[in-house]
């Protein structure tokens, strides 16, 4: 963003020095259309016309304040927002946004808000059995698995041949 502003300001300096649009194209490496647009803006509004805005693109439909309120609601969790399970989905997040702000987003737009504006990442719940006993698993891995692994290595290699290796052929 700053580099673009610096190039526009350099173009203003060139225009003020009496240089032509073609000189701006050659020196700054911009297209002829861009140089023409900058020149036209400079002629009508001077230097201020090319200072530019801080943000490019469409203005967001959610203000920073609204987004902060939505994030607070999301951090409270799905159950606090009236859902039956403690798992966020994009559809649920979109529903909370619409309920709080009146702005409806598609699932892909909702994901962009979460990722780009809030800095959230996708996370999936760990699927583990409720009965899982981590202490028992760790004890098994230390006590039983080395014994089982040794037993597999000590076993004689098997043969895929249907005949015995020690049989002799008949004359």
Give the start-to-end residue ranges of the domains of the chain: 2-51, 64-117
Structure tokens at 120: 């959230």
User: Is pLDDT above 80 for 67?
Assistant: yes
Name the residue with tokens 């014994």.
147
Percent of the chain with pLDDT over 70: 84
Q: Across residues 10-33, what is the average pLDDT?
A: 91
How far the first Cα of the chain sits from its last, in Å, is 91
Q: How do residues 107-140 score in pLDDT, each as one tens digit? A: 999 999 999 888 888 887 777 787 888 899 899 9
Q: Are the C-beta atoms of residues 30 and 24 closer than 8 Å to each other?
A: yes
- Is this structure's pTM higher than 0.75? no
Q: Which 8-state DSSP code applies to residue 73?
A: H
Name the residue with tokens 């927002």.
81
């Amino acid at each position: 963003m700053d580099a673009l502003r610096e190039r526009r300001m350099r173009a203003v300096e060139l225009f003020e020095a009496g240089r032509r649009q073609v000189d701006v194209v050659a020196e700054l490496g911009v297209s002829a259309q861009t140089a023409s647009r900058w020149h036209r803006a400079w002629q009508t509004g001077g230097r201020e016309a090319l200072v530019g805005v801080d943000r490019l693109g469409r203005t967001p439909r959610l203000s920073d304040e609204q987004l902060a309120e939505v994030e607070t609601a999301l951090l409270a969790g799905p159950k606090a927002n009236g859902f039956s399970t403690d798992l966020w989905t994009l559809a649920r997040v979109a529903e909370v946004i619409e309920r709080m702000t009146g702005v409806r987003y598609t699932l892909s737009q909702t994901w962009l808000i979460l990722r780009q504006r809030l800095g959230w990442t996708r996370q999936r719940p760990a699927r583990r059995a409720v009965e899982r006993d981590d202490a028992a698993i760790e004890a098994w891995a230390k006590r039983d698995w080395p014994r089982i692994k040794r037993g597999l290595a000590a076993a004689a290699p098997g043969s895929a041949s249907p005949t015995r290796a020690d049989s002799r052929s008949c004359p």
